[in-house]
Amino acid sequence: MLSGLRIIEFEALGPAPFAAMMLADLGAEVIVIHRKSGGDTPGKPSENILDRGKRSIALDLKSAQDIAIARKLLSTADGLIEGFRPGVMERLGLGPNDIGAFNPSLVYGRMTGWGQSGPRAQQAGHDLNYISLTGALWYASNPNEPPFTPPTLVGDIGGGALYLVVGMLSALINARQTHQGAVVDAAIVDGTAHMMALLLSLRSSGGLKTERGQSTLDGPHWSRCYACKGGGFISVQCLEPKFYAAFLKLLELDQDVDFLNQFDKSLWPELGARLGGIFVGQTQDHWAQVFAGTDACVAPVLSPDGSTKDPHMAARGIWQHIQGHLQPAPAPRFSTWAPQAPAQIRPKDADRQDILEELRKRETDAPRSI
């Protein structure tokens, strides 16, 4: 799908390599510049599925010789992805103005938590901090309880990596038309706040309240998870009345006057407690069978390993084991193009000789001052 597109990625953690992985999954050629010395990046395994489908060269960005190699690589690139704090790339002589001087059509993707400007731009932070400040974490708890720590998906991936990919692709399309590159300032706080538009759209109808447990999707007995007998959990979210009716019928509660008042907020705590007592009386497998094939909007809460055994997930080939790692298949899917199975993870610096030879050949064929 993205064949012919070359992206140079500077090694980082989290959302930046995830975004580059998505582009590689979609067929782009991604060359990741790994750190040459100092061992592996803290918190990043030596063999990382986020590096799948990428070529690798290790460079020391404190070395003038290796900086020169990086610049030569960037002269051949359509896009760049980096996840350093603002100003780091400029101090290395690899900032947007530096690269734009010899590759004006390059799309320069910058992935940060706080953005390139603002009072917090130079501060450290992580997913939990970013979603806290944007208001996204506010609804991640039960009433009168501290918000729980969700997986690093809402900020790093949802508000970060995916917005970087959208920004990169938009700027790349524009560059193809205008031959003018752009800087993509992908800040996790920007993207996460933007995702809040869906929740905020419920405000005008009274569906979103500041008070916890009073909103359409965070307070009802029909929009939560319940514990099952013997461990395990079941998720319920039957918002629409016809789906709620199917839910009640399967539980033989369709004649219960209180349960028929789906949107009576005063009943939500009591009805939630009653449902809790019902669900804990049987195992997760039992409830999965009860609701299988129905429109009651109920599903078991599975671990990633458990998810691999689900018939639907298995039928779509969503999970695959490659090189001993559990990996998700590339997404989304296209009617006209199918990516290969998750590509191999190349060892760090595995492509050094090939990449350097390509650069030497390019210089011989078409000398270029950079």
Torsion angle, CA of 358/360/366/368, rounded to 10 degrees?
110
Q: Is the pLDDT of residue 43 over 80?
A: no
Q: The domain 220-301 belongs to what CATH superfamily?
A: formyl-coa transferase, domain 3 (3.30.1540.10)
Question: 6-195+320-365 is classed in which CATH architecture?
Answer: 3-Layer(aba) Sandwich (3.40)
Q: How far is CA 257 from CA 214, 244, 260, in A?
A: 21, 14, 5
pLDDT, average across residues 203-210 = 85
Q: Is the pLDDT of residue 366 over 80?
A: no
Catalytic residues: 126, 156
Q: Is the pLDDT of residue 132 over 90?
A: yes
Q: Tell me: the pLDDT tens digits for 302-325?
A: 999 999 999 999 999 999 998 899
pLDDT value at residue 370: 53
Residue/partner pairs of 286-289 with CB below 8 Å, 24 or more apart:
286/228, 286/229, 287/228, 287/234, 288/234
pLDDT, average across residues 286-307 = 97
Q: Tell me: the pLDDT tens digits for 228-277?
A: 999 999 999 999 999 999 999 999 999 999 999 999 999 999 999 999 99
Q: Tell me: the pLDDT tens digits for 323-338?
A: 899 999 999 999 999 8
Task: Supply the pTM of this predicted model.
Answer: 0.93
Q: How far is CA 207 from CA 14, 194, 211, 263, in A?
A: 33, 18, 11, 11
Q: Considering the chain, tell me which residue range(s) the CATH 3.40.50.10540 domain(s) occupy.
A: 6-195+320-365
pLDDT value at residue 286: 98
Average pLDDT, the chain: 93
Of 197, 192, 225, 358, nearest to 301 (Cα)? 225
Task: Compute the distance between CA of residue 231 and CA of residue 254 in angstroms, rounded to an integer.
Answer: 27
Per-range mean pLDDT, top range of 36-45, 197-206, 347-356: 347-356
pLDDT, average across residues 58-84 = 97
pLDDT value at residue 38: 59
Q: Is the pLDDT of residue 41 over 90?
A: no
pLDDT value at residue 104: 98
Q: Tell me: the pLDDT tens digits for 234-247?
A: 999 999 999 999 99
pLDDT value at residue 80: 98
Q: Considering the chain, tell me which residue range(s) the CATH 3.30.1540.10 domain(s) occupy.
A: 220-301
Q: Which two tokens stand for residue 219?
A: 């307070």
pLDDT value at residue 42: 58
Q: How far is CA 6 from CA 59, 117, 370, in A?
A: 18, 28, 18
Q: Which two tokens stand for residue 333?
A: 């899917």
